[in-house]
């Protein structure tokens, strides 16, 4: 009988201590990484469904709330404010590039490629308001996006240069301790970083660093290099949160049929339809 | 396309046939799409300089600067096939040097612009693009 | 719905992937496939201990889904198969004649897109369908026929193919390819798949149109019937050394053979050699057919990559054709105007 009590008390003490320890990890600065669970390949295990929070997909720079550009959507089409995710505050555009960015912003309703269900590019796909799924295989890591069914193949072996340019780029990855480092090039220069016209050229090079901060959270840091558009490399960072629902699953967002009228409507023979 | 009768007949036939059509014939419908995009009565023979090769899907595009009879240079856009198999065989966007001479036989677009589908692409040395001599075929020995 | 279960399925597959000289190749090695792996083959395993299906695969083949109408047997002889393959091979690489409709197209052989230049599976089967024994699809049932009739009526109502973008086929609209499935049938070209797996998921990336099938292995239920997908929602599990994938919750718009939203597909993937996965599937749809049908094909190891098939983004063809069609309409209108109205 006494042994049973001791066993129960011991268990409670152990649980309490590990709770304290985990609290300490969570409340500590995000710069401290944890030793993530391991895959059978002995690499950190980032498998699962993740999603960014916040309003970066509207505008990665700090911004106040503002009216939307589709009047009929009222408050639901308005832009929420955001503290920004760019290191140093604003993106270091070249002066002529800034003019173009501002022009993009003024014309975003007709120019934003994501409106037409075009593949969103990197890193925009990561922080769109849609989940993504990481599947780690033996030689490739797949990053699969719900938006437009965008696919990223991360080559962990047999690495080559991009054979041709593409919307989602060409990604080579490696592990640096607890961090997954992904270098992506071969962009076609036709994607944006957000809905506010922040853009890049086909000389874009992206380096992403993913590190587990807890079993439920990854830190996501992105370095952007594009000497044609920016005066220097710059960085963004934000957390990615695990979608904890037990039935979490990427659904189809096959948006091509949602935009056909937008793209081809003016070429319809019978304009009354 | 004023007469919608024949397209309807084609649709009907395609629908019935599609229930039991061997895979190769699926390509036939693509032919129909091409003959609606490009004009069978307007064959073209273009000779010019490759200025860009867009290796994109579903069809790639070759940008070729062609000089007309009075010396004006016009950039033609010439449609080719999906580059995915070529990429598997090691072809990249560096495989075709910008500035090479290209001869293209094809058919002009119905939309009235300087666009064509490239029926046959030939290099300056007479070799068919990606195929070498007519006896060679990429993928030989695979 | 029923499966063939453990009935020994004998498929004769002519080995070798070189496309040249079909006759010579056909005389080469022949593998006998059964419903299970051959005793000698030891399937490689992932670190999780399950069969390793990872890699790049293709199910390209000359074998049609349905037995040709003039054929009444399940297998060709080696000589017959070689002759048919040689004939198909020659037809594919034959140059088209100027001024004919087939000539208004880029040459597949220049882009390596003809079957004869791909890796492909070769078989003595006269059809991929192994059940019904006729090798052909079952007839449409009453519901299926009624639905087909309504589709035809709708086609007439919406007008000609070039009257609107949405009047076109799903593949020309870059929404979904006809064979994307499931079941995954070989497209005319780029019939390639990339399989990546871990303990909890198998992902099968279908090259056209970059469709990633994400198959959970945790035995979860299907979501509500209100959640319906073009490619359905898959659920997978290992049965011995075979991966079984059951897909439901289709939205009724999958281009598979006039199917409905009651479509259910059961696929079975079994690695039978280093370079072959036996891919077997049973299709049931009580709103289309009164019985299920089963087919079998090989997936052969091939080389990657599966380059981004961003179809919609590059779909200038559809756009340009519609522009051209409207131009022709205007020209015809002007001609009518010149001739004046009929008195």
Q: Determine the pLDDT at residue A29.
A: 41
pLDDT digits (tens, 9 = 90+) for B15-70: 444 444 444 433 444 555 888 899 999 999 999 999 999 999 999 999 999 998 89
What does each C-alpha distance from C142 to B129, C257, C275, C288 come to in angstroms?
Answer: 52, 15, 42, 8
Q: Determine the pLDDT at residue C3.
A: 29
Q: Determine the pLDDT at residue C115.
A: 85
pLDDT band at C38 (very low <50, low <70, confident <90, very high): low
- Tell me the domain boundaries of chain B: 40-123
Of A247, A241, A243, A171, the closest CA to residue A212 belongs to A241
pLDDT band at C30 (very low <50, low <70, confident <90, very high): very low
Mean pLDDT value of segment A249-256? 98
The DSSP annotation for chain B comes to: ----HHHHHHHHHHHHHHTT--HHHHHHHHHHHHHHHEEEEEEEEEEEEEEEEE--SSS-EEEEEEE-TTS-EEEEEEE---SHHHHHTT--TTSS-TT-EEEEEEEEETTSSSEEEEEEEEETTSPBTTTBSTT--TTTT-
Kindly determine whether residue A165 and residue B93, on different chains, have CB atoms separated by under 8 Å.
Answer: yes
CA atoms within a 13 Å half-sphere pointing along the CA-CB vector of A89: 0
Residue A157 has pLDDT above 70, yes or no: yes
pLDDT digits (tens, 9 = 90+) for A101-112: 999 999 999 999
Q: Which residues of B touch C136 (CB under 8 A)?
A: 20
Q: How far is C293 from chain B, CA to nearest CA, in Å?
A: 14
Q: How far apart are CA B87 and CA B90, in angstroms?
A: 5
Mutate: best of B84, B96, B130, partner C, most C CBs <10 A:
B84
Q: How far is A267 from chain C, CA to nearest CA, in Å?
A: 6
DSSP state of C249: -
Residue C11 has pLDDT above 90, yes or no: no
pLDDT digits (tens, 9 = 90+) for A170-188: 999 999 999 999 999 999 9
Kindly determine whether residue A161 and residue B55, on different chains, have CB atoms separated by under 8 Å.
Answer: no
Q: Determine the pLDDT at residue C4.
A: 28
pLDDT band at C339 (very low <50, low <70, confident <90, very high): low
Query: What are residue B76's DSSP bridge partners?
Result: B64
Helices and strands per DSSP (H, E), number in chain A: 5, 9
Residue A70 has pLDDT above 50, yes or no: yes
Residue C106 in contact with partner chain B when CB distance is under 8 A: yes
* Contacts of the segment C34-39: beta carbons below 8 A, 24+ positions apart: C34/C8, C34/C9, C34/C10, C35/C4, C35/C6, C35/C7, C35/C8, C35/C9, C35/C280, C36/C6, C36/C240, C36/C241, C36/C270, C37/C241, C37/C270, C37/C271, C37/C272, C38/C272, C38/C273
Q: Name the closest residue on chain C to residue A247, using Cα atoms.
A: C220
Q: How far apart are CA C103 and CA A165, in angstroms?
A: 30
Q: Name the closest residue on chain B to residue C303, using Cα atoms.
A: B88
Task: Quote the pTM value.
Answer: 0.87
Question: B40-123 maps to which CATH number?
Answer: 2.40.50.140
pLDDT band at C40 (very low <50, low <70, confident <90, very high): confident
Q: How far apart are CA C293 and CA C137, in angstroms?
A: 7
Mutate: best of A158, A160, A162, A163, partner B, most B CBs <10 A:
A163
Lowest model confidence (mean pLDDT) among A29-38, A230-239, C149-158: A29-38
pLDDT digits (tens, 9 = 90+) for C60-72: 999 999 999 999 9
pLDDT band at A34 (very low <50, low <70, confident <90, very high): confident
Mutate: best of C55, C112, C160, C188, partner B, most B CBs <10 A:
C112
């Amino acid at each position: 009988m006494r042994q049973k009590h001791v066993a129960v008390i011991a268990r409670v003490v152990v649980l309490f201590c590990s709770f304290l320890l985990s609290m300490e990890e969570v409340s500590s600065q995000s710069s401290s990484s944890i030793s993530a669970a391991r895959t059978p390949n002995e690499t950190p295990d980032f498998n699962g469904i993740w999603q960014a929070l916040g309003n970066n997909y509207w505008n990665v720079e700090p911004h106040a709330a503002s009216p939307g550009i589709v009047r009929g959507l009222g408050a639901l089409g308005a832009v929420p404010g955001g503290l920004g995710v760019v290191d140093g505050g604003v993106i270091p555009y070249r002066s002529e590039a800034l003019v173009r960015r501002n022009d993009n912003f003024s014309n975003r309703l007709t120019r934003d490629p994501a409106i037409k269900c075009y593949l969103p590019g990197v890193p925009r796909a990561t922080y769109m308001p849609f989940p993504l799924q990481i599947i780690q295989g033996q030689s490739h890591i797949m990053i699969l996006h719900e938006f437009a069914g965008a696919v990223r193949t991360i080559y962990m072996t047999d690495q080559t240069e991009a054979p041709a340019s593409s919307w989602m780029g060409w990604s080579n990855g490696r592990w640096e301790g607890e961090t997954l480092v992904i270098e992506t090039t071969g962009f076609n220069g036709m994607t944006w970083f957000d809905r506010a016209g922040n853009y890049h050229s086909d000389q874009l090079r992206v380096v992403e660093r993913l590190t587990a901060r807890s079993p439920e959270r990854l830190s996501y840091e992105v370095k952007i290099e594009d000497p044609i558009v920016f005066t220097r490399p710059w960085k963004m960072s934000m957390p990615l949160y695990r979608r904890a629902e037990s039935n979490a699953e990427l659904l189809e967002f096959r948006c091509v049929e949602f935009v056909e009228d937008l793209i081809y409507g003016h070429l319809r023979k019978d304009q009354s339809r | 396309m004023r007469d919608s009768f024949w397209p309807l007949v084609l649709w009907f036939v395609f629908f019935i046939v599609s229930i039991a059509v061997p895979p190769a014939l699926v390509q036939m419908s693509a032919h129909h799409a091409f003959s609606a995009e490009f004009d069978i009565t307007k064959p073209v023979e273009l000779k010019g300089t490759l200025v860009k090769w867009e290796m994109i899907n579903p069809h790639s595009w070759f940008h070729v600067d062609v000089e007309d009879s009075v010396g004006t240079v016009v950039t033609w856009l010439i449609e080719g096939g999906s580059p995915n198999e070529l990429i598997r065989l090691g072809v990249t966007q560096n495989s075709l040097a910008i500035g090479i001479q290209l001869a293209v036989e094809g058919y002009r677009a119905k939309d009235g612009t300087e666009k064509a589908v490239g029926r046959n692409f030939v290099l300056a040395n007479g070799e068919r693009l990606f195929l070498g001599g007519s006896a060679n075929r990429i993928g030989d020995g695979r | 719905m029923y499966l063939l279960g453990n009935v020994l399925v004998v498929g004769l597959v002519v080995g070798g992937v070189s496309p040249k000289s079909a006759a010579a190749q056909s005389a080469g090695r022949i593998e006998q496939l059964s419903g299970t792996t051959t005793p000698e083959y030891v399937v490689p395993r992932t670190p999780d201990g399950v069969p390793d299906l990872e890699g790049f695969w293709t199910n390209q083949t000359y074998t049609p889904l349905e037995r040709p109408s003039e054929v009444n047997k399940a297998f060709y002889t080696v000589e017959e198969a070689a002759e048919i393959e040689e004939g198909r091979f020659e037809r594919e690489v034959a140059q088209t004649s100027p001024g004919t409709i087939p000539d208004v197209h880029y040459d597949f052989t220049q882009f390596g897109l003809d079957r004869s230049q791909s890796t492909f599976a070769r078989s003595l089967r006269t059809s991929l369908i192994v059940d019904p024994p006729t090798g052909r699809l079952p007839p449409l049932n009453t519901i299926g026929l009624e639905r087909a009739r309504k589709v035809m009526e709708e086609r007439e109502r919406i007008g000609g193919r070039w009257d609107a973008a949405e009047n076109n086929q799903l593949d020309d609209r870059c929404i979904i390819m006809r064979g994307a499935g499931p079941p995954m049938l070989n497209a005319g070209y780029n019939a390639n798949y990339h399989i990546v797996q871990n303990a909890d998921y198998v992902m099968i990336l279908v090259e056209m149109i970059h469709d990633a099938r994400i198959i959970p292995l945790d035995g979860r239920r299907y979501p509500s019937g209100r959640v319906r997908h073009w490619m359905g929602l898959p659920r997978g599990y290992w049965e011995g050394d075979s991966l079984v994938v059951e897909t439901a919750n289709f939205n009724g718009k999958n281009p598979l053979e006039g199917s409905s939203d009651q479509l259910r597909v059961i696929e079975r993937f079994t690695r039978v050699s280093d370079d072959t996965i036996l891919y077997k599937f049973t299709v049931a749809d009580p709103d289309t057919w009164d019985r299920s049908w089963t087919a079998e094909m090989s997936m052969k190891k091939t080389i990657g990559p599966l380059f981004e098939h961003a179809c919609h983004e590059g779909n200038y063809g559809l756009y340009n054709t519609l522009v051209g069609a409207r131009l022709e309409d205007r020209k015809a209108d002007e001609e009518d105007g010149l001739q004046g109205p009929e008195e």
